[in-house]
Amino acid sequence: MAGGGVMMIPCVTLNTGHAMPVLGLGTGSSRTPEDLAATLLHAVRHLGYRHLDTASLYGTERAVGAAVADAVRSGAVASRADLFVTSKLWIADARPDRVVPALRESLARLGLDYLDLFLVHWPVALAAAGDGSKDLQVEFDMEGVWRGMEECHRLGLARSVGVSNFSAAKMSRLLAFAVVPPAVNQVEMNVGWRQEKLREVCAENGVVVTAFSPLGALGSDWGSNAVMESGVLRDVAARRGKTVAQVALRWLHEQGVGFVARSFNKERLQQNMDIFNWELTEDDKEMIMQIPQRRACNGEFFVSPNGPYKSLEELWDGEI
């Protein structure tokens, strides 16, 4: 238990030597900044959350920064060092000359001196900052962008650097030339999309996989009901006296991955924490392995006849 009787979230040690809490709180939200900051502060102060996950795209960096400042000021944590903050490089900045400036802009919005983790949001780039229309997409300069990420690390602006939405094939390409290897690959992963091939490549190379949409993002425009409406998970949950979400998150934890769950409901935020002191049975796990597999966040927005990715197969290197 941490101070105040809140639960301590287990950590995983990244290849940089830094500890990352395995459960992160996602902040992609349309809530007002004040409301979001208050929810985050509650999660830190009363529930024990220590990992806050944001992105330039989300428009929530200021709210996250306000919550971090409030948490330190109010004594909910002893110092900034007690919190783990992740943000991400958007595709409009995924060009070699824009990586370091983009991170500096994120830090200014957050009011922080450094990020704990900075991720390349997608292996996609725009020719110039714009509205993200497909016509502006250009070939993603993986090596050039990664050299920029390494510079962020060298300058101390990001303690660890990594990627998001990279296929197993793209991870292998990146690892072949990376001087500073990626610490994390944050990808869609849940009982309905287990990412076995990708996890194998990452495990062999000391890269931690973090799952976004661990509950399937039901209700979002691309979300899936494969998790929250799964009959298998309902059966397991009923048998164990747990919620469907708790079973889904516990399964991820037992796979050895991190996960970023988003909720703004205080009761569900608490429930998402209550997964570390029990285990699934072999029967539970065998039932879960029968759940059909389908990628939900397929990135079809980035596919275009004139762009670098002309099909979903190209974007995901056939891993669909």
Q: How far is CA 319 from CA 168, 169, 304, in A?
A: 8, 9, 18
φ, ψ (nearest 5 deg) of residue 144: -60, -45
Provide the greatest CA pair distance for the chain: 56
**83 in Cβ contact with 120 (< 8 Å):** no
Among 139, 56, 58, smallest CA distance to 93 is for: 56
Torsion sign (Cα): 287, 293, 296, 298: positive
121 is in an annotated binding site: yes
DSSP state string for 32-82: -HHHHHHHHHHIIIII---EEE--TTTT-HHHHHHHHHHHHHTTSSSSGGG
User: What is the spatial distance between Cα 157 and Cα 160, in angstroms, rounded to a whole number?
Assistant: 9
User: What is the spatial distance between Cα 48 and Cα 272, in angstroms, rounded to a whole number?
Assistant: 11
Token output for 312: 């979903």
Catalytic residues: 58
What secondary structure letter does DSSP report for 299? Answer: -
CA gyration radius, the chain: 19
Token output for 195: 């990412």
Residue 103: left if φ>0, alpha if ψ -120 to 50, beta else—which one? alpha
User: What is the spatial distance between Cα 298 and Cα 308, in angstroms, rounded to a whole number?
Assistant: 16
Among 80, 81, 145, smallest CA distance to 119 is for: 145
* DSSP count for the chain of H helices, then E strands: 11, 12
Q: Which residues of 243-266 are buried (b: 16+ CB within 10 A; e: fewer)?
A: bbbbbbbbbbbebebbbbbbbbee
Q: Which residues are annotated as a binding site for substrate?
A: 121
